[in-house]
């Protein structure tokens, strides 16, 4: 079964650029920039970049990003990490990934938001050429930033919509910064016709999910795991076919959900909620798409056919350009047919 899980074609729709930096890469970036790090080999550096299996809080989790961000402030570093995000996805047979990042967190050394976006796109393109994975970029606005930062970020995303950028997002402290504050920012996105996904219902309650869809125009929801606290709203999301970008390992580590036993993934799925399963932050969470799929099988009894359906649904929920999406779905169906043939031959 391990082989089947590895070979299963996959899509990762929720993947943070600053959450998938390889320790060896951080060492190389630091060495080239004369930046001191507390370890001189990948193994000893990893604990600074990755939470332990029983991560104690969201704060411990978020601190891991603060550790890598100082070294992701120039074109070369951003492009390299983006290219390696594609490389890592290819190792798990992802056909398609949407990598996301907040350009405003990468401007400490003079890059503009557009410069940061251009660098990330250049890296993704290099990765696409080298590893055969289709990769697109989602541009994030931060909840602790005001319109004076977020509106220019959205405009920079709009300027490259269709050239690798596929959507805009909102991330950060959901509990302290409600949707209302971002209405103006996302009106700019809506008027330009760039799709919107919003982190909501992760660190704060289900009401944020309704706000994200109704006030901000979200077509997908990042996480949304706390929707179970409001069955009526969960049904509303189900009926509207709003895809949830679930990230099981991460959601448990950040304490959005207490444990695997408590994780409502099977319940959502059986109730007909449109779910997708993603990594969020492979390095920080110590995960990858194969592991997430494995967890669905061992923790929630997903069959391989159900997993394949979930991955196909993720491709359909993707923000890829329509002809690209059609080609990806064809490729996916061919790979699944081949996998089925191979497994029957083995029986
Ligand atoms: Zn996220």
Note the pLDDT of residue 145: 97
Q: What ranges in 69-220 are assigned the alpha helix state H?
A: 75-90, 113-131, 147-159, 183-192, 207-214
CA of 87 to the centre of ligand 1 (A): 20
CA of 343 to the centre of ligand 1 (A): 35
Q: Grade residue 346 by pLDDT with cuts at 50, 70 and 90.
A: low
Q: Tell me: the pLDDT tens digits for 87-99?
A: 999 999 999 999 9
CA of 142 to the centre of ligand 1 (A): 11
Specify the CATH number for 2-346; select among 3.30.70.3270, 3.20.20.140, 3.40.250.10, 3.40.50.10680.
3.20.20.140
Q: Tell me: the pLDDT tens digits for 176-209?
A: 898 889 999 999 999 999 999 999 988 888 999 9
CA of 248 to the centre of ligand 1 (A): 11
Give the active site residue among 98, 202, 245, 292: 202
Does pLDDT of 347 surpass 70? no
Note the pLDDT of residue 180: 87
Q: Tell me: the pLDDT tens digits for 3-51?
A: 899 999 999 999 999 999 999 999 999 999 999 999 999 999 999 999 9
**Class of residue 59 by CB neighbours under 10 A (exposed 0-12, middle 13-18, buried 19+):** exposed
Q: ∠ at Cα 68 (222, 225), nearest 5°?
A: 15
Spatial CA neighbour of 319 closest among 162, 200, 202: 162
Note the pLDDT of residue 314: 98
CA of 39 to the centre of ligand 1 (A): 27
Note the pLDDT of residue 267: 95
CA of 212 to the centre of ligand 1 (A): 15
Note the pLDDT of residue 205: 86
CA of 339 to the centre of ligand 1 (A): 31
Note the pLDDT of residue 174: 87
Note the pLDDT of residue 171: 96
Q: Which residue has the tokens 């070369």?
A: 76
CA of 175 to the centre of ligand 1 (A): 15
Q: Tell me: the pLDDT tens digits for 52-83?
A: 988 888 888 989 999 999 999 999 999 999 99
- Look up 76 and say whether it is catalytic: no
Q: Tell me: the pLDDT tens digits for 121-136?
A: 999 999 999 999 999 9
Query: Across the chain, what does the average pLDDT equal?
Result: 95
Note the pLDDT of residue 90: 98
Q: pTM score, two decimals?
A: 0.97
DSSP for 200-269 reads ESSSS-THHHHHHHHTT--SEEEE-GGGGG-HHHHHHHHHTT--EEE-HHHHHHTTSSS-TTT-THHHHH
Note the pLDDT of residue 341: 85
């Amino acid at each position: 079964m391990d082989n089947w899980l590895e070979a299963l074609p996959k899509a990762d729709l929720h993947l943070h650029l600053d959450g998938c930096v390889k320790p060896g890469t951080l060492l190389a970036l630091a060495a080239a920039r004369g930046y001191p790090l507390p370890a001189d080999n990948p193994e000893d550096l990893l604990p600074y970049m990755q939470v332990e299996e029983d991560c104690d809080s969201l704060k411990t989790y978020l601190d891991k990003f603060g550790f890598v961000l100082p070294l992701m402030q120039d074109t070369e570093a951003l492009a390299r990490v983006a290219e390696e995000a594609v490389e890592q996805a290819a190792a798990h047979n992802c056909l398609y990934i949407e990598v996301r990042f907040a350009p405003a967190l990468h401007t400490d050394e003079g890059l503009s938001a557009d410069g940061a976006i251009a660098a990330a796109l250049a890296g993704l393109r290099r990765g696409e050429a080298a590893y055969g994975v289709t990769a697109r970029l989602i541009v994030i606005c931060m909840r602790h930033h005001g319109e004076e930062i977020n509106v220019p970020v959205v405009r920079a995303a709009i300027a490259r919509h269709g050239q690798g950028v596929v959507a805009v997002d909102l991330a950060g402290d959901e509990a302290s910064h409600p949707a209302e504050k971002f209405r103006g920012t996302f009106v700019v996105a809506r008027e330009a016709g760039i799709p919107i996904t919003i982190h909501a219902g992760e660190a704060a309650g289900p009401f944020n999910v309704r706000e994200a869809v109704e006030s901000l125009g979200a077509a997908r929801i990042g996480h949304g795991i706390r929707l179970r606290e409001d069955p009526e709203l969960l049904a509303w999301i189900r009926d509207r076919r709003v895809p949830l970008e679930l990230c099981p390992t991460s959601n448990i580590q950040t304490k959005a959900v207490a444990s695997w036993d408590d994780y409502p993934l099977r319940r959502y799925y059986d109730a007909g909620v449109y779910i997708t399963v993603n990594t969020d932050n492979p390095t920080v969470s110590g995960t990858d798409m194969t592991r997430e799929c494995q967890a669905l099988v061992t923790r929630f009894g997903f069959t391989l056919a159900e997993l394949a359906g979930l991955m196909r649904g993720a491709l359909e929920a993707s923000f890829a350009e329509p002809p690209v999406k059609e080609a990806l779905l064809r490729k996916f169906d061919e790979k699944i047919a081949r996998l089925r043939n191979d497994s029957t031959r083995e029986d």
